[in-house]
Chain A
Amino acid sequence: MLGQSFPFDMAHMLAGGMVTVSFMLLFQDRLIALIWFLALHALALALALAWQAHRQAADDLYVAAALALVVKAILIPMGLRWLVRHLQIERTVEAVVGVGMAMLFGIGLVALSVMVMLPAATHSPLMWEDLSFALAVVMLGLLIMITRRNAMAQIIGLLSVDNGVTLAVVGIRGMPLVIDLGVACLLVAAMVVFAIYFKHIHQRFDSVDVHVLDRFRGEES
């Protein structure tokens, strides 16, 4: 029943799962739910990495999977939750465009990713599907960043973009692990910096809505 192409199907299923969770991130408007879905996103990434490790028989990918699980699925969401609670950030996230339009645009982005990766289809149709899903996750993450007013939500979008990039990179056989480790360390450093900034912005303006900064800069009447 499971078929000859089970290894590839499983990889596509996990990648498709990441795309679905990206869509879920797109229509959430509560901050806590957004953080949990980010954790789910990272969990799907960890499973995808583990599966790739199993398929390619590359042990260093298991390390990458464990890293994704511990850092991106557990530590970062916990840190974000601590921030939200500690700074008493506003729990609802305003979106700039309506949910329906955002989702329709998201579907268009998935279509675009599939079309863009077409040249890869001539080499290997299975890699084409992997890459197009990964590109879709990246584009959807960017869309999340663009359509949210809340700085915290924008950070979550950025993190999902990073997840997508990791997924793309790992699908290609033989990618060195050190790059992945480097990006992960960079992320952790970035998170610490963001946390400090959030604290400062919140103390000064009592809000992390980026529109407040516009008023401060004098760009909004």
Chain B
Amino acid sequence: MDLPFALCLVSLLIGAAALIAPVAGRSWASVALYGLCLGVSSLLLVIGLWSLVAMGGGAEAPLLWLPLGIPGQGVHFRLDGLSAFFLIVINLAASAASLFAIGSGRHEHAPHRVLPFYPVFLAGMNLVVLANDVYGFLFSWEVMSVASWFLVIAHHRQPENRRAGYVYLIMAALSTQMLLVTFGLLSGFGAHLDFDAIRATPPSLDIARLALLAVVIGTGAKAGLVPLHVWLPLAHPAAPSHVSGLMSGIMTKVAIYGLVRVTFDLLGPPEWTWGAGILLLGGTTAVTGVLYALMQHDLKRLLAYHTVENIGIIAIGLGLALAFRANGFQMGAALALTAALFHVLNHSLFKTLLFLSAGAVLTATGERDLDRLGGLIRGMPITAFCFLVGSAAISALPPLNGFVSEWLALQAILISPELPQWILKFLVPMVGAGLALSAALAAACFVKAFGAAFLGRARTAAAERAVEVERSSLAAMLILVAACVLAGVLPGLVVDALAPVTTLLVGSHLPNQITQPWLTLVATTPERSSYNGLILMVFIALSASLSAFGVHRLASRRRRRAGAWDCGYPETSPATQYTAASFAQPIRRVFASVLFSAREKIDMPAPGDSRAARLTLTIRDPVWALLYRPVAVAVTTAAEIISSALSLSIRQHLGLVYGTLILLLVVLALWQ
């Protein structure tokens, strides 16, 4: 029942896209379309929740076959636990983004470039998680990529957006190519395209290893694993704000869905080396991503790099789960997988929230650069509050949701000394240290972002004049805030909801959380570790009220305003405040001098010369310099050589054909 209904809703989205295209410029078009998307997403969210709860009660996964696509094959759909969970993740963020866009859509100056593609984007993402065969998966994946590409180049007048679109297209093509290779290998080169058939005939070990490599590159390019992450910080800021939120928050998660589906479901029994590889990749991505983010002063690029970091954290959980599963420790695998999937949900919530708030700031001030903002907490108090909660959540602070997934990940790391392989025994503590380091650096980065944008004094007139955005946008952000808080204080509900998913993938699940006393979260056994977000929040609130009450009774109530103390210095211009770059300087000096060759050069004028001093900061991105530039140079050189072959004379062309013929004859001779 729910699967056909879901597919009807998805086709409604596609139909709406087709209908809105001619009338996109009208004043009511934006509100109507986003309202429709909101409705559809909410319904899909309900379907996802319903299915997951039903699956937890032991229902079967519904299947569906439609005679579309390849003639004679048709396309298969399936709604199992994993699909239902990702359906929830996608549509929760999509509903919030659509609600936000109802308000912000009227500021869009090129609606005909955005409105027709947005529903197609949503439809593509939903279809990927529902697909049950190779054709359905790849077709929906491409629809998702192409629709988001159109959205990325919506504002094509700016050159950096065009460059972003170019890089994005190349990386998306790479991703699809690799997925073609993966599915080609898994389906026995086209023998059985159905996922059920692939599950029934697991591939041999060599084929499985090649397929794993291809799928890690393919989905990693879409998710943002280092070194395939370079398109993320270019493309995510280029798109309109609600679309950036969706790209960062859920398109990367769809890529993770692809990775999970292939490695846990379709590849057959894993080896421990696969887990070690993904673990190492995840750890590197997490630390590198947050170090990149610290160097940024563009708000949206900063958020995009944090997406890279969080994908790294999810990959750490997945790698650990694979390693546990390869060694037969089902409980450990369930714990690590739960941590990874919980983080998928959490990240989609708080990243979308942060991007929507950044979008609100962009709408209100027209600025994205942290060095041109400041003091926004006065003009935009609700947006500031939402960004604050999002920052606290992403910095893994209790009692919010980011802390819970980090807690689960650390618990998983603490039971990994049972893993017998030596390389894992050395790799896991290192990755644990990397995880701790990335969490601490993320907190530092968000103190910088929130402080520079919202606190202090306004650095430009635009920031001075900012006012709050539309009410629907605020409502969308507040809904996400509520979701973050709820997931933080009632994590047991989420973990119980994930139980059918982990049972499906690794054959085990965490202890039943609803039955724990006071809704505590228990990772393995209550004696070993437990966490109660609700009691903690109540405890903090009680202590805060008690101290406020005590202070107001016993202490003086008077308060007056005056100029800032500032050690007695008179009031200075807002330019003397710390900027984003100056805030990050100590951390940059500690961490980035090796990795990014960060160098500061100060050019002081001679005494008596009244020109301004100049501070130059050079940062070199090692991934571009070491990987992409050489590849680009090689491709350009090859292209030049080949294009010179087009301007050969007739005699030289004949010579080329003759040479090839001789080569083929030689090969034929040697073959025999």
Where the two chains meet, the residues of A that have a C-beta atom closer than 8 Å to any C-beta of B are 98, 100-101, 111, 115
* A115 partner residues in chain B, CB cutoff 8 A: 422, 426
Q: Is the CB of A98 within 8 A of B422?
A: no
Where the two chains meet, the residues of B that have a C-beta atom closer than 8 Å to any C-beta of A are 422, 426, 590, 593-594
* B590 partner residues in chain A, CB cutoff 8 A: 100
Q: Which partner residue on chain B sits nearest A101 by CB separation?
A: B594
Main secondary structure of the interface of B (DSSP, over half): helix
* A100 partner residues in chain B, CB cutoff 8 A: 590, 594
Q: Is the CB of B426 within 8 A of A98?
A: no
A-B residue pairs, 3 tightest by C-beta? A111-B426, A98-B594, A101-B594
* B422 partner residues in chain A, CB cutoff 8 A: 115
Q: Within the assembled complex, what's the spacing in Å between the Cα atoms of A101 and B593?
A: 11
Q: Within the assembled complex, what's the spacing in Å between the Cα atoms of A111 and B430?
A: 11
Q: Which partner residue on chain B sits nearest A115 by CB separation?
A: B422
Q: Which partner residue on chain A sits nearest B426 by CB separation?
A: A111
* A111 partner residues in chain B, CB cutoff 8 A: 426
Distance in angstroms from A106 CB to nearest chain B CB is 13
Main secondary structure of the interface of A (DSSP, over half): helix
Distance in angstroms from B201 CB to nearest chain A CB is 39
Q: Within the assembled complex, what's the spacing in Å between the Cα atoms of A100 and B589?
A: 12
Task: Return 8 A-B CB contacts under 8 Å, by A number.
Answer: A98-B593, A98-B594, A100-B590, A100-B594, A101-B594, A111-B426, A115-B422, A115-B426
Q: Within the assembled complex, what's the spacing in Å between the Cα atoms of A210 and B4?
A: 78
Distance in angstroms from A118 CB to nearest chain B CB is 8
Distance in angstroms from B592 CB to nearest chain A CB is 11
Q: Within the assembled complex, what's the spacing in Å between the Cα atoms of A98 and B590?
A: 10
Q: Which partner residue on chain B sits nearest A104 by CB separation?
A: B430
Q: Within the assembled complex, what's the spacing in Å between the Cα atoms of A100 and B594?
A: 10
* A101 partner residues in chain B, CB cutoff 8 A: 594
Distance in angstroms from A74 CB to nearest chain B CB is 38
Q: Within the assembled complex, what's the spacing in Å between the Cα atoms of A206 and B610?
A: 41
Q: Within the assembled complex, what's the spacing in Å between the Cα atoms of A98 and B422?
A: 28
Q: Within the assembled complex, what's the spacing in Å between the Cα atoms of A166 and B462?
A: 71
Q: Within the assembled complex, what's the spacing in Å between the Cα atoms of A98 and B594?
A: 8
Q: Within the assembled complex, what's the spacing in Å between the Cα atoms of A37 and B96?
A: 60
* B594 partner residues in chain A, CB cutoff 8 A: 98, 100-101
* B593 partner residues in chain A, CB cutoff 8 A: 98
Q: Which partner residue on chain B sits nearest A112 by CB separation?
A: B426
Distance in angstroms from A151 CB to nearest chain B CB is 26
Distance in angstroms from A120 CB to nearest chain B CB is 15
Q: Within the assembled complex, what's the spacing in Å between the Cα atoms of A101 and B590?
A: 11
Q: Within the assembled complex, what's the spacing in Å between the Cα atoms of A172 and B323?
A: 38
Q: Within the assembled complex, what's the spacing in Å between the Cα atoms of A101 and B595?
A: 11
Q: Within the assembled complex, what's the spacing in Å between the Cα atoms of A81 and B438?
A: 43
Distance in angstroms from B14 CB to nearest chain A CB is 52
* B426 partner residues in chain A, CB cutoff 8 A: 111, 115
Q: Which partner residue on chain A sits nearest B430 by CB separation?
A: A107
Q: Within the assembled complex, what's the spacing in Å between the Cα atoms of A100 and B437?
A: 14
Known contacts A98-B594, A100-B590, A100-B594; 5 additional CB pairs below 8 A are A98-B593, A101-B594, A111-B426, A115-B422, A115-B426
Distance in angstroms from B426 CB to nearest chain A CB is 5
Q: Within the assembled complex, what's the spacing in Å between the Cα atoms of A100 and B591?
A: 9
Distance in angstroms from A209 CB to nearest chain B CB is 23
Q: Within the assembled complex, what's the spacing in Å between the Cα atoms of A111 and B422?
A: 10
Distance in angstroms from A68 CB to nearest chain B CB is 32
Q: Within the assembled complex, what's the spacing in Å between the Cα atoms of A111 and B425?
A: 10
Q: Which partner residue on chain A sits nearest B422 by CB separation?
A: A115
Q: Within the assembled complex, what's the spacing in Å between the Cα atoms of A196 and B308?
A: 58
Distance in angstroms from A213 CB to nearest chain B CB is 28
Q: Within the assembled complex, what's the spacing in Å between the Cα atoms of A115 and B594?
A: 28
Q: Which partner residue on chain A sits nearest B593 by CB separation?
A: A98
Q: Within the assembled complex, what's the spacing in Å between the Cα atoms of A115 and B425?
A: 11
Distance in angstroms from A107 CB to nearest chain B CB is 8
Distance in angstroms from A205 CB to nearest chain B CB is 30
Q: Which partner residue on chain A sits nearest B591 by CB separation?
A: A100
* A98 partner residues in chain B, CB cutoff 8 A: 593-594
Distance in angstroms from B278 CB to nearest chain A CB is 21
Distance in angstroms from A135 CB to nearest chain B CB is 16
Q: Within the assembled complex, what's the spacing in Å between the Cα atoms of A124 and B137?
A: 55
Distance in angstroms from B432 CB to nearest chain A CB is 13
Distance in angstroms from A82 CB to nearest chain B CB is 37
Q: Within the assembled complex, what's the spacing in Å between the Cα atoms of A111 and B590?
A: 25
Q: Within the assembled complex, what's the spacing in Å between the Cα atoms of A115 and B426?
A: 10
Distance in angstroms from B510 CB to nearest chain A CB is 32
